[in-house]
Amino acid sequence: MRFILLSFVLTSVIVYYAYLGYLLNLPNLGRPVIWKRYCDRQPPDPTLDPVNIFVGVLTMDTKFDRRQMIRDTYLMYKPDNVIFKFVMGRPSHDPAVLTKLEKEYQQYGDLMFLDIEENMNEGKTYEYFRYMAETYNSTGLDYVFKADDDSYIRLDRLEIDMRNQDRKMLYWGYLVGDTFMGGECYGLSFDLVKWVSTSHTAQRYKSGHEDSQVQKWFKWASIDSKVNYAVRNCYIYDDPESDSVYARPLTNDSRTMVVHNLKRNDRFMAIHQQLP
């Protein structure tokens, strides 16, 4: 009898942790929401005071060509009050890669290295926000953004939009399935960045799909009701020529801020040339 009871308890524990692991690593299958619902009736006010923004594009050490393409395209629109860095983990031990990285860093100074193994969903985003809170705590930053390197971002439009947003407890981006902001480009006000850096919940559950994991931190720590969701689905979408459910034609009103899923270099350059 005792053996049966022990087996039952052990099986229950295994099932519990297996289910917990499943919840933490659910794929991002959120349905698209009706984007027109989130189009502003009035454009953002460009006369408001500028805000200080940090944009970190998560990338890998070997993606030299994509980083250069970004420098040659949308970084031309970067306002002076926007800090921009390419964020990666510890670089490869390959001497050729290290030599190129050193030259790249000396030439541009826009590389940020986190003291972690390179990864996508094993805590890189958490470590990025933690690093930002510790390193930029006294620099007057208002917002910190995380973005993908297959996103084309109009940084000038982004900055003007952020002038019109709340600077407290703000969570900005493309809302997926009425739950979390998609990983192509989302931002947190700096108070939320500091919260992430000190949250035991965020630290404990730092692994998982990096975009949906952020909203889970808020929910599991019972602060989600206090977070201000700035939903910008009207101005963020996937490449019109991709087969993504988030793809749609370019808007004609010069309001688009982010076009995502530009994995091919020719499509990245096409958006640079075609975006109003």
The two tokens of residue 266 are 């020719």
Residue 30 lies in a domain: no
Domain that holds residue 127: 36-274
Element (H, E) at 110: none
Q: Is 60 exceeded by the pLDDT of residue 226?
A: yes
CA-wise closest residue to 237 among 157, 151, 120: 151
CATH number of the domain bearing residue 63: 3.90.550.10
Element (H, E) at 168: none
CA-wise closest residue to 30 among 261, 248, 244, 260: 244
Residue 109 lies in a domain: yes
Q: What is the mean pLDDT of residues 14-42?
A: 58
Counted domains in the chain: 1
Residue 7 lies in a domain: no
- Percent of the chain topping pLDDT 70: 88
Q: Is 70 exceeded by the pLDDT of residue 136?
A: yes
In this structure, the dihedral spanned by the alpha carbons of residues 120, 123, 128 and 130, taken in order and rounded to 10 degrees, is 170
- When pLDDT is cut at 50, 70 and 90, the band that residue 13 belongs to is very low
Q: What is the mean pLDDT of residues 89-112?
A: 96
Backbone angles phi, psi at 51, to 5 degrees: -120, 155
- Going by their DSSP bridges, the two strands 170-173 and 143-148 should be labelled as unpaired
DSSP character at residue 33: P
Q: Report yes or no on whether pTM surpasses 0.75.
A: yes
Integer Cα distance of 58 and 63 in angstroms:
11
At residue 162, the pLDDT reads 98
Residue found by looking up tokens 């919940």 in the block: 201
Residue 55 lies in a domain: yes
Residue 11 lies in a domain: no
Residue 28 lies in a domain: no
DSSP character at residue 177: T
The beta strands (E) that lie in the chain are given as 53-58, 82-88, 111-113, 143-148, 152-153, 170-173, 175-176, 180-181, 185-189, 228-231, 236-238, 258-260
- When pLDDT is cut at 50, 70 and 90, the band that residue 24 belongs to is very low
Residue 156 lies in a domain: yes
- When pLDDT is cut at 50, 70 and 90, the band that residue 254 belongs to is confident
Q: Cα 201 vs. chain centroid, distance in angstroms?
A: 19
Residue 14 lies in a domain: no
CA-wise closest residue to 119 among 96, 90, 145, 139: 90
Q: Is 221 helix (H, G, I), strand (E, B) or coil?
A: coil
HSE-CB for 227 with a 13 A CA cutoff: 27
Phi-psi region of 75 (alpha: psi -120 to 50; beta: other; left: phi over 0): alpha
